[in-house]
Structure 1
Amino acid sequence: MSDPLPSILLVDDEAHSLQAMRMALEDDFDCLTALNADEATKIMEEHFVQVIFCDQRMPGRSGVEFLTEVRDRWPETIRVIITGYTETSDMISAINDAGIYQFLTKPWHPDQLVMAAKNAADLFRLNRDHERLSLEMRYLSRNVETKLEEQRKALREGLGFENVLRGPNSPMNAVIAQARQFASFDVPVLISGEPGTGKTALARAMHYGSLRSDRPFHEINCIGVEDEILELELFGARRGAVQGIQTNKVGLLQKADRGTLFINGIADLSPRLQLALMRFARDGSFRPVGGHEVLRSDVRLLTGSSKDLRLEVARGAFRSDLYYALSMAVLAVPSLRARRCDVPLLAQSLLFDAASTHGKPVHGLSDDAVKFLENYDWPGNLRELENEMVRMLIFSQASILGPELISRHILQAAPGDEGTDERLDTVLVGEGTLKDRVEQIEMRILRETLTRLKWNKSRAANELGLSRVGLRAKIDRYGIAEPSRASAGADDEEE
């Protein structure tokens, strides 16, 4: 089906002129005719007209007067005026008042009329396309801005303080409350805590909770990294300054401009890099390796340390001016053993993350497994807990993971009366008779073996080289209680 012809309105008080125009245009246009402005107005109200050819001199309203009304009521319609007069005043009036696209003078040639009509129809189409595209661009722009803001919000929420898991009575709650306060103030913050306690996650949450959340967040760990590599990563380098670098290398201080840079393991910086970082912390200026020019960057510095920087300053291993420049605010992240109430929540979350990563769905941890995990000291903090969850997932055969999957050293590390873990080395070098200390170790081995073997006493006795009677006697002697079962259908003995 072919497209409809463009519609054109022909207005002239002379009938023969209207007939002549119709004959010239009817092959290419859907022609409507009117003998005066009033008739033309009625036609405009009832039809969709793209182009108007109107005579200037007509009884009643002139062509300029009519086209002026058209401009106000139907501004998209392309307006062409036809006149047998060439008074300058008429032309100026038409241009100013009616927004005329083109003049045609009488007598006109049919080819001239057709060409003018086609050009006017093309202009109408182009104007409509332009308006449509403009509307689409405005809509798309608003849509993109909305989606971008939604993405930013999701990013802030996904990487913000809500991502730092903790229980309702967790010691982390006070730390998070302080971090929220510090986040909204553009000051350097030192985050201290043992390795694996989540200093990077806290620094990232502070960035996404700050006014710089729309800008980049970068991080670098200085522990165990050579001085030259750290210098390149932090400050960048000019082409040819270092062997193997054929182009200018942009450092993190430049990449993080108007954003945040988290430098973990800050205590491991050499004196030379401490001095260079001090210059940047003082006035935001630095020199790339091999460069002579001084660059500037607006970066918020967050730093992390597992060492007590005050002690490092006291013993001369860390610059005091840099310490005070970086520690306008200080956050101390507690170890995992200081937040045992968070272990169940963290363990379940890390287990589900591992299950999603490795494509092995599980339903969670049994209550007995959680108790063992909660009672352990976790010297490796969150990293060690994450490793343990992955290990348990790998060896799991059921959807609920029981204590038999837990590593042996964790099962053996039963808590003392105060809830603190008495480690093997503590027992070995501690006080007490040989008999008492040996019995402590024996009790741990028994508990670990029974738990790992799901309290199958026959298998436990066989592994430990005991008779079943001897194993029962030791269980009774040490008061080792069998934990509640995850499923009532399991039998603990092989008869």
Structure 2
Amino acid sequence: MPAAPTPLTETPSTVLVVEPHTAATASLTTPLERHFPLRRAASAAAAEDMLAAGGVQVVVAEQRLPDRSGLELLAAVRERWPDLLRVLVTPNADVDAVAAGIGRAGLFQYLPRPFHPDNLLLTVTNACRFSRLRREHARVLAQRHPGAVHTGDLTPDPWDRRQRNWCLDAVVRGPDSPLEPICDQLARIAPYDIPVLLTGESGTGKELFARALHESSLRALQPFVAENCGALPDQLLESELFGHRKGAFTGAIADHVGLFEQADGGTVFLDEIGDVSAAFQVKLLRVLQEGEIRPIGSEQRKRVDVRVVAATNKDLEAAMLAGSFRHDLYYRLAGVTLHLPPLRRRPGDLGPICERLLREAARAFGTPLQRLSTEALALLNRYHWPGNVRELRSELQRMVVLSDGGPELGPQLLSARVLARASVADALPAGDATLKERVEALEAGILSETLTRCGWNKSRAATELGLSRVGLRNKLARYGLDLADGDVAKPPVSGDS
């Protein structure tokens, strides 16, 4: 049996427990009454009356109440008293039904029954500690920024737009970017100790967002640690996250402190969480539920206080239906889910991102700062970027090192892959084009890509394409591509022959 945590003794928070008088299960008040000032309500209506009187910092509610569900009550509490921390206790059978509304209620945590009383005590203790830290943080910010926005009885709201966006500057985006509402939502949830799941394709910046979330939170002065869960087998992953003792397995020549212990008080970022095995999912779930780790080879458990941010490029909901990912672990990780769109869905962001990446490349390589030509940027915008920002960084670094050091990077420096796909995408006719029109458009795209890459050296392009110079000239005339050197080819008019 785990040892009961020592609750806060300094200015204990008042906890409102909402549960029906006729509850068949163990009362929620029993584990808490010796540690916190408690108020009790038997219905949602009675709870709202008590909250209106003030003086409560944490609300713990049963899901099954006589007049409305606990989730509906906590969603209403969030609307009227957003600074109160909310904990929901629900029968295990109701977890699937409750999951869809967890984000709407903005829960600090939810507990499925049955649970150990110490687990409830730990959850409420952490909620009270977080409440006190948040009020202290707000007080300090109020002293530093007297003009901050005020809300409720917590004096200044430290999370007005000016305060919460300074840590999101690393997320480069243009005006009206699809990332803007995501950054706004991230800034809103950052102060609340709720787990976050980041989804999206590889290279969309999930770790960047996880760091921004950490820097926006009250844990910002504590460690941020990251681990790629898909890169390690189970035993090594368990050792990396939870630690091991000397001699626990072959090669364990010394004690190792795991990342959860290293990040105590801070944030753990678990990348590629969708790739972990079913066996490791069970171990991770236990750690998240109990708030304790047990290093490999040790009999002693250690309590840790971390916020978990997970990320995946897989569809975890589909994985749950297929039976390869646990429902209970998903709900532990996905307190709030943020989906990051791919770069091809963010055309307005490409220019600012390129500027940032070119500055990074200039610093890394010790070269003068360069800019993209209008033609090169247009071609980059037509490429679909399956590798997202990671692929774009590689492409721009390649252009920098292959350039002559001039102030502008032209389209001739783009890789064949980018030029070919961008040119073909630009050349393909829209609508109900015939097969002949589509084939001609593809041929024109290949010609345009090759000429651009060869700097409009027609002899070189003809040799590369296996054509005579006369044959190349005839094709260029046919497709209207016989332009002066340096011009950017345009797609042919559909139907030209």
Q: Is the 8 A contact 1:165 1:345 kept in 2?
A: yes
Structure 2 residue 229 is matched with structure 1 residue 222: yes
In structure 2, the residue matched to 1:162 is: 169
**Equivalent residue in structure 2 for 1:363, among 370, 378, 403:** 370
Change (3 A) 1:445 1:340: same
Q: Is the 8 A contact 1:222 1:230 kept in 2?
A: yes
Q: Is the 8 A contact 1:207 1:213 kept in 2?
A: yes
Superposition deviation, residue 361 in structure 1? 1.8
Superposition deviation, residue 394 in structure 1? 1.4
In structure 2, the residue matched to 1:413 is: 421
In structure 1, the residue matched to 2:101 is: none
Counterpart secondary structure, 1:303: strand
Superposition deviation, residue 391 in structure 1? 1.0
Structure 2 residue 314 is matched with structure 1 residue 307: yes
In structure 2, the residue matched to 1:455 is: 456
Q: Distance in 1 between matches of 2:433 and 2:318?
A: 31
Superposition deviation, residue 484 in structure 1? 9.9
Q: What amino acid is aligned across from residue 300 of structure 1 in structure 2? A: R
Superposition deviation, residue 477 in structure 1? 3.2
**Structure 2 unaligned blocks of 5 or more:** 1-143, 145-162, 489-497
**Greater fraction of residues in helix:** 1
Structure 2 residue 283 is matched with structure 1 residue 276: yes
In structure 2, the residue matched to 1:402 is: 410
Pairs aligned (count): 324
Residues 139-198 of structure 1, C-alpha deviations (whole Å, 9 max, x = no match): xxxxxxxxxx9xxxxxx9999310010101211111111111121211100000000110
Structure 2 residue 388 is matched with structure 1 residue 381: yes
Change (3 A) 1:238 1:404: same
Q: What amino acid is aligned across from residue 313 of structure 2 in structure 1? A: S
**Equivalent residue in structure 1 for 2:269, among 259, 262, 284:** 262
In structure 2, the residue matched to 1:391 is: 398
Change (3 A) 1:272 1:464: closer
- List aligned pairs for 1:52-131, cutoff 5 A: none
Q: Distance in 2 between matches of 1:431 and 1:289?
A: 64
Q: What amino acid is aligned across from residue 237 of structure 2 in structure 1? A: L
Change (3 A) 1:303 1:232: same
Change (3 A) 1:373 1:449: same
Q: Is the 8 A contact 1:368 1:483 kept in 2?
A: no
Q: TM-score, normalised by structure 1?
A: 0.61
Change (3 A) 1:162 1:486: farther
Counterpart secondary structure, 1:378: coil
Change (3 A) 1:469 1:191: same
Q: Distance in 1 between matches of 2:215 and 2:247?
A: 37
Q: Distance in 1 between matches of 2:169 and 2:194?
A: 22
Q: Is the 8 A contact 2:380 2:422 kept in 1?
A: no
Superposition deviation, residue 375 in structure 1? 0.8
Q: What amino acid is aligned across from residue 406 of structure 1 in structure 2? A: L
Residues 268-300 of structure 1, C-alpha deviations (whole Å, 9 max, x = no match): 111121111111211211211111112110000
Q: Distance in 2 between matches of 1:158 and 1:353?
A: 22
Q: Distance in 2 between matches of 1:483 and 1:256?
A: 60
Q: Distance in 1 between matches of 2:482 and 2:179?
A: 33
In structure 1, the residue matched to 2:194 is: 187
Structure 2 residue 177 is matched with structure 1 residue 176: no
Q: TM-score, normalised by structure 2?
A: 0.61
Change (3 A) 1:295 1:173: same
Q: What amino acid is aligned across from residue 396 of structure 1 in structure 2? A: S
Residues 430-475 of structure 1, C-alpha deviations (whole Å, 9 max, x = no match): 9963x44542332221011111122233443344344555434423
Q: Distance in 2 between matches of 1:484 and 1:303?
A: 50
**Equivalent residue in structure 2 for 1:238, among 231, 235, 245:** 245
Q: Distance in 2 between matches of 1:157 and 1:480?
A: 51
In structure 1, the residue matched to 2:447 is: 446
In structure 2, the residue matched to 1:206 is: 213
Q: Is the 8 A contact 2:243 2:295 kept in 1?
A: yes
In structure 2, the residue matched to 1:464 is: 465
Aligned-pair identity in percent equals 44
Counterpart secondary structure, 1:302: strand
Structure 2 residue 322 is matched with structure 1 residue 322: no
Q: What amino acid is aligned across from residue 443 of structure 2 in structure 1? A: E
Larger Rg: 1
Q: What amino acid is aligned across from residue 408 of structure 1 in structure 2? A: A
Give the aligned CA root-mean-square deviation in angstroms: 2.9
Superposition deviation, residue 485 in structure 1? 5.2
**Structure 1 unaligned blocks of 5 or more:** 1-148, 150-155, 423-429, 488-495
Q: Distance in 1 between matches of 2:288 and 2:279?
A: 14
Residues 187-222 of structure 1, C-alpha deviations (whole Å, 9 max, x = no match): 100000000110000000000010000000000011
